[in-house]
Amino acid sequence: MNILIIPTNDWIRAPGHGHIDFIAEELAERGHRVYAWHFDLCRNEKTKRKPRNVRLLKPRTLWVRDPAFFYLLNAFVHLSAMFKAIRDLKIDVIINENILPGLFAFLVSPPRVLKVFDFSDYFPESASVHYDDSQSVFKRLVEGTALCFTKLNIKFADVCLAVCRSLIEVVRSIDDTKACYLLTNGVDMNKLAVQESRERRSEVADSMDNTMVIMGVIDSWLDLMTPLKALEILRHKIPNVKILLIGPWRKRKHREDIQSFVETHDLQAYVNITGYVSDQRLARYLREGTCCLMPYKTDSFSSIIRLPEKLFVYSAYGKPILSTPLPEVAALRSEHVFFYHNVDELVGMASALMIDADQSIDRADLSAKAYDFAQKHDVRVLAGNLEQILLNSL
């Protein structure tokens, strides 16, 4: 198959990556010709990764800083280039997870092309989060516009993919005749094994005993205050307890607010903020940390549909996970994931994992269960599932 991906972000420079990116690279490994549309949104950032067996199509781009305006503007600028690429490359399948330019790709593609909408996030909220500092009227306008484009993508798609069961229900509420398949987030187990092997050859720094790790883009959707308040209590109970925050901060003010709290409560020796790190350093941190946190806020629709990629990455390193109650995570009934509702519950769970005298938790058993869970969501498994969906739908 000749497959064109319309990704959610800049493929090589964005701090994170899209739901479909690594799965697409695995499809290319299986012999399919895979192309990805390159959005030069993060042109001022360093290259974070190189595409593996996926050819980037790089059209002329008009750059503006605002993400929504960037995609809206270039949806029109790229229109003729998309039409030409789909025709000249004899594209069989378009997989779209970008509601503005992807919709245009659907519209200019001939009927023979299978149009797949990758419903990888609840786009109204993921779009409006960029405008947290704007007036509520403007935020509602952004959400309403994104919802409209989401509905159009579902209507024009032949097939939908969804990262969780809740989003399948959203698709059915918009078009109950549309074929929609579950394709969760996952993890590249082989890639992590290579990273870990390289990291083991490097010098090991300070001990990470009794360290709780939080990984990923750090933004307002995370509730960092509960772990920090728990840390205030834990530092008096557990030697060398720490929180390690790994990943880029989307807003400077958010980082300044957290650092101010840390300083005010005299937690500087117990909180390590790294920012973005290399894959090899990340591998070492996750391997040596005691447990991992998923401290998401639970006051939005996104929290209902959230099945985060970090769940699978943490699991691949065999880590027990302490999380706020996320329905989609709970539905998986993973025995290595524990849910806390407040500071006291988080303190109790972290203490049980860190204090050897507590015999109620078998950490080796938890680690084995976490690893087995990750293997079931390896990108090779997901790519095989997607390949079968595409072949059956053509």
If one compares 86 and 17, the residue with the highest pLDDT of the two is: 86
pLDDT value, residue 363: 83
User: 251: which 2 tokens?
Assistant: 């807003």
Least confident window among 54-58, 66-70, 270-274 = 66-70
The pTM of this model reads: 0.88
The domain segmentation of the chain, as residue ranges, is: 2-186+378-393, 189-375
- Second-level CATH architecture of 2-186+378-393: 3-Layer(aba) Sandwich (3.40)
Q: Residue 194 — very low, low, confident or very high, per pLDDT cuts 50/70/90?
A: low
CATH tag, 189-375: 3.40.50.2000
* Res. 187: pLDDT tops 90: yes
Q: Residue 262 — very low, low, confident or very high, per pLDDT cuts 50/70/90?
A: very high
DSSP E strands: which ranges in 306-365? 321-323, 337-339
Query: Both ends of the chain: CA-CA distance in Å?
Result: 10
Fold match between domain 2-186+378-393 and domain 189-375: yes
Q: How many helices (H) and strands (E) would you count in the chain?
A: 17, 13
**Exposure of 278 in the CB half-sphere (CA atoms within 13 A):** 8
Q: Which helix (H) or strand (E) holds 131?
A: none
Q: Which helix (H) or strand (E) holds 118?
A: strand 114-119
Per-residue pLDDT averaged across 77-82, rounded?
94
**Which of 11-20, 135-144, 302-311, 383-392 is the most confident on average?**
383-392
Model confidence pLDDT, tens digit, residues 91-142: 999 999 999 999 999 999 999 999 999 999 988 888 777 676 667 788 888 8
**Residue that has been written with the tokens 């079968």 in this structure:** 388
Helix (H, G, I), strand (E, B) or coil at 25: helix
**Residue that has been written with the tokens 């391997």 in this structure:** 287
